[in-house]
Homo-oligomer: A and B are copies of this chain.
């Protein structure tokens, strides 16, 4: 292990170079024009895996973007760890909000800046590079490893579940490690034991058959953008912050007092959220702490809204025919995407005026919420590995985001999921100026290397408890 850690330390610059090369590929899975780039990212990763000494490396096509699978399963006596990550990235919404070109990585202030740095290229590479270090130094791995890296995470992992189901035996494992989440704060390593689910819809409200002149028709024809604003405004009570969709909170589970007490000890979450976001004030449900709001409460957000003429500075006098919105809800234990989507749809249909119609209502994306247990041996091994990798014991936390594939993995492979988050909450995942702290990158590689060692205990523990 000593030599592996030394190799990781001395390979620091080379690691960053590999990350830079991967970040240079604009693998935006949502953009059909980037299909070639997504493929190129898969090929680059496969080459890195091959260079690392993995005996089996495959780029597996799907009906969407390909899956990269690298395997080292040479010792049937040791447990098997599946590492999941993704090499696709979020789109660039507004290039003007970026301080640098998103696909020309720069190193500044000990961070690497580029789209995909923290979500998820940097984090997944930490595992790839720890595997490479083990193989280079010892010619083998402490446990069997299967690296499954997909290219459709940012568009809902459309073809992953089918792949996992079809390749259930090939992917068999004792636990699944995922690094696609954030530490609580710089210098406070953490292990995430809960995630919110998601239900994401898009809908369009239609007034007239076509765009009209707002002078000739304003006041006598409903404005669908106003009707949309009214229905969106009615989804949340501005006073209490409660979501007003009927039955939305049915069965919602509160975190345990013990968990809440742990959160209450974490330093200055309000200050951190204000600093991370630059918002004038925090927001949220009355009588809840910030961490409760983001980690344990369901929410509703407008992710996009559009209608009429949207070019800044132009005064087109249009009464738009349609107005649309993307609305997503984050879910907690006992909420199911299909159920809340049905409730939202009923609410919208009930509250839209008769002067417009709900022309389109599409469920774009859904994922169940997830909670883990700190008592599981694979999680316990992770706590030890993080402590060794970061030099500090990790804190059990939750995240407000969703990784809908986690319940899927658990269901199909029957193995627990362990979330080793190496990112930080303010690293611009899904926003402009995305970056990744390079000291956390190194600590992540070390943690992964330790985890392969600590993971040897898991099968024994599992067998013991079976």
Contacts and interface: CB of A to CB of B under 8 A. Distances in A.
A156 interface: yes
B301 A226 contact: yes
Nearest to A30: B314
Contacts of A283: 219-222, 353, 355
Given A301-B319, A308-B326, A433-B210, A196 B215 contact: yes
B303 A306 contact: no
Interface in A172-221: 182, 196, 198, 200, 202, 207-221
A198 B401 contact: no
Given A328-B214, A400-B217, A303 B294 contact: no
A211 B304 contact: no
Contact of A212 (B212, B293, B302, B431): B431
A155 interface: yes
Nearest to A223: B301
A331 to B, nearest CB: 11
B223 A302 contact: yes
Given A211-B432, A215-B401, A233-B234, 7 more contacts: A93-B211, A202-B312, A209-B277, A209-B279, A214-B303, A219-B298, A313-B364
18 contacts: A91-B309, A91-B314, A155-B314, A202-B312, A215-B400, A216-B401, A216-B425, A217-B294, A218-B294, A218-B330, A219-B298, A219-B299, A220-B282, A221-B282, A229-B305, A233-B233, A280-B355, A304-B311
B97 A211 contact: yes
Interface in A342-401: 353-357, 362, 364-365, 399-401
A225 B281 contact: no
Contact of A236 (B226, B313, B365): B226
Contacts of A279: 207-209, 221-222, 355
B213 A431 contact: yes
Interface residues of A, number: 106
B428 A210 contact: yes
A249 interface: no
Nearest to A241: B219
Number of copies: 2
Contacts of A293: 219-220
Contact of A90 (B207, B223, B316): B316
Contact of A294 (B220, B226, B314): B220
Contacts of A320: 302-304
Name the residue among A273, A312, A315, A317 with the largest chain B CB count within 10 angstroms: A315
A326 B315 contact: yes
Given A30-B316, A281-B354, A212 B304 contact: no
A402 interface: yes
A137 interface: no
A324 interface: yes
A89 B206 CA distance: 25
